[in-house]
Amino acid sequence: MSEKQELIISKREEAKPVPATVVRPPVDVVEDESGLTLSADLPGLAKDRLQVRVDSGTLMVEGEASLDIPTGTEPVYAEVPPLFVYRRSFTLSRELDGTKVDASLKDGVLTLRIPKTEAAKPRRIDVKVG
Question: Where residue 113 falls among pLDDT bands split at 50, 70, 90?
Answer: very high
- Helix and strand numbers (H, E) in the chain are 1, 8
Phi and psi (nearest 5°) for 48? -75, -5
Would you tell me which CATH number, out of the four given (3.40.50.700, 2.60.40.790, 1.10.10.60, 3.90.1010.10), belongs to the domain 3-119? 2.60.40.790
Report pTM. 0.72
Question: From CA 97, how far away is CA 4, in angstroms rounded?
Answer: 59
Q: Provide CB contacts within 8 A for 130, sequence distance 6+.
A: none
Of 17 and 46, the one with more pLDDT: 46
pLDDT digits 0-9 by tens, 59-84: 999 999 887 767 777 766 666 667 88
Alpha-carbon span 12 to 76, nearest angstrom: 5
